[in-house]
A and B are shown apart, each in its own frame.
Chain A
C-alpha cells in the first residue's frame, strides 16, 4: 500500500486535501488493470467506483442500433474517469472501454459516498474536484458540438 499512498498523496487531483481524508482515500484505493478492448464500466450499471488513469487510453462510448458503437470522447494518462458515483442516481450514463492496455487506480466510490454523508468536509472536498472535471468535460463537449471545421 505504500506505493499507492505516495501516488495518491502526490496526485494533482487530490492536492490540498486534508491528511485524514487522504488516509481514507488510500484505504479506498486499489491498483487495477484493463486489457485492450475490455469494458471498464457499462451504461446503466450501478456506479460505485471512479478511476485515476495512470497509463493507457479509454474510450467513452454509446451505442445506437443503426450506427453501432460511437466514441464520444477518449481519456488518457492523468484523466479522471467517472463522476456518476457521486451524482444521483449513481448509474453510469455511458460505456467506458479500454482501447489499449490501461492501468488505473480504482477508488471505492460507494465507500466514499457513504463516508461523505457524515463527513461533509470530505464530501465538499470531493465534490469541488469533481465539478471541475465535469465543467471541463462539458466545455470540451460544447466545442465539439460547434463543428468548427465544417464549411458553412
Chain B
C-alpha cells in the first residue's frame, strides 16, 4: 500500500503498545512512615525481564481507579522484585495503600532518563535528598555502592520534616555505619529526644566532605528544596553542569504524547525526570511554567 506519509516508520507491534499495563502481583506492602509506604512487586508470569536505571519511573495502575507515575526505589541489581515507595496523596495512592499480598497491579514502564551514575565515575558523589526524594535516589545509591571503587568520596545528605518521617531508617543506619559512605541526616523540626541535626538540608552542604571541583551532585525532593539546594551547591563551588535534579509534573501517558508533563521545551517523561541543572536553571526561576 502506498502512503503519503513523509516518513515511513516501522509498524509497532500491538504487544509492545506502551499504553498497555503489564500484570504484576503484590509481594509485600510495608508502611514506612505515617503517609509513606513501599510496594514490592513481582511479575504475574513469575519470570522477570524487567530492568531499569536509577531515576526511572513506572506508571502504576490500580484496577478501576487510575494510574500514577511512581519512581522505582529498589535495587537495579536485583530486578526480580520491583520496588516502589510512595506517599499517599490522592485517590490512586490511597487505593494502592489498601493492596494485600497477591493483589493485582498494572505496570507500564520503565520510563524516563535517570541519574548519571556511570558518568560520575572518577568523581566524588553528593546525594541530597529531601523527604520522599530519598526514594528515587536509593537505586542510585545501591548502584554507587555496588561499584564503590570507581568513585571518590560518597556523601548522602538527607533532610525531612520530623524524625518520625525518616525513610528507610534501618538502611540509613547501615549506611551510616559504613566507612566508605558519609551520611548526614537533618530534620526541619525536632521532636522528643532527637539528638541529631535540626535545620534545612541545605545547611548540611557547607560542612559535607567532598571536593566541589570534582563532584557530581544528585538532588531530589520538593522543587523549592531542590532549587535552593542547587544554589547552595553552586555557592560551594560545584559546577552547574555537575548538578542533577529530578523534576515532576502531571503525567498521563509517560511516552511524550499527552503533553501534560511539559516543562518549557522538555517533556519530563522522556527528557527527564532527571535533568542537568544548567539546562533548566532559567526555567526554575519562572513562576507557573
Binding site for B on A (CB under 8 A): 57, 59, 70-74, 76-79, 99, 140, 143-144, 146-151
Cα distance A71–B207 in the bound complex, in angstroms: 20
Residue of chain B at shortest CB distance from A99: B195
Contact of B224 among A72, A77, A146 (CB under 8 A): A146
Contact of B202 among A72, A76, A143 (CB under 8 A): A143
Cα distance A146–B190 in the bound complex, in angstroms: 15
* Residues of A contacting B132 in the complex (Cβ-Cβ under 8 angstroms): 149
Q: Do B207 and A73 have beta carbons less than 8 Å apart? A: no
Q: Do A149 and B207 have beta carbons less than 8 Å apart? A: no
Residue of chain B at shortest CB distance from A77: B207
Q: Do A143 and B195 have beta carbons less than 8 Å apart? A: no
Residue of chain A at shortest CB distance from B90: A151
Contact of A144 among B35, B131, B199, B207 (CB under 8 A): B199
B248 within 8 A of A: no
Cα distance A148–B131 in the bound complex, in angstroms: 9
Given A140-B203, A149-B161, 6 new contacts (CB under 8 A): A72-B198, A74-B199, A147-B161, A147-B188, A148-B225, A151-B87
Q: What are 14 A-B pairs at a CB distance below 8 A? A: A57-B197, A74-B196, A77-B207, A79-B207, A140-B200, A140-B203, A143-B224, A147-B188, A148-B225, A149-B132, A149-B165, A149-B222, A151-B35, A151-B89
Q: Measured between C-beta atoms, what is the minimum distance from A73 to chain B in Å?
A: 4
Residue of chain A at shortest CB distance from B159: A149
Q: A78-B207, A149-B160, A150-B161 are in contact. Are A144 and B197 (CB under 8 A)?
A: no
Q: Do A143 and B194 have beta carbons less than 8 Å apart? A: no
Contact of A71 among B89, B198, B221, B222 (CB under 8 A): B198
Closest 10 CB pairs of A and B: A149-B131, A149-B161, A71-B190, A148-B222, A143-B200, A73-B199, A71-B198, A74-B198, A74-B197, A148-B225
Bits for B58-79, please: 1 = Cβ < 8 Å to A, else 0: 0000000000000000000000
* Residues of A contacting B106 in the complex (Cβ-Cβ under 8 angstroms): none
Sort chain B's interface into a size bin. 20 to 34
Q: Do B198 and A59 have beta carbons less than 8 Å apart? A: yes
* Residues of B contacting A76 in the complex (Cβ-Cβ under 8 angstroms): 197, 207
Q: Measured between C-beta atoms, what is the minimum distance from B66 to chain A in Å?
A: 18
- Max chain A C-beta neighbours (<10 A), residue from B198, B224, B225: B198
* Residues of A contacting B186 in the complex (Cβ-Cβ under 8 angstroms): 74
Residue of chain A at shortest CB distance from B184: A76
Q: Do A71 and B194 have beta carbons less than 8 Å apart? A: yes
Contact of B130 among A79, A144, A148 (CB under 8 A): A148
Q: Do A144 and B206 have beta carbons less than 8 Å apart? A: no
Q: Do B130 and A140 have beta carbons less than 8 Å apart? A: no
Bits for B168-200, please: 1 = Cβ < 8 Å to A, else 0: 000000000000000000101110001111111
- Max chain A C-beta neighbours (<10 A), residue from B161, B165, B195, B203: B203
Bits for B27-41, please: 1 = Cβ < 8 Å to A, else 0: 000000001000000
Cα distance A76–B109 in the bound complex, in angstroms: 44
Cα distance A70–B198 in the bound complex, in angstroms: 10
Q: Measured between C-beta atoms, what is the minimum distance from A25 to chain B in Å?
A: 22
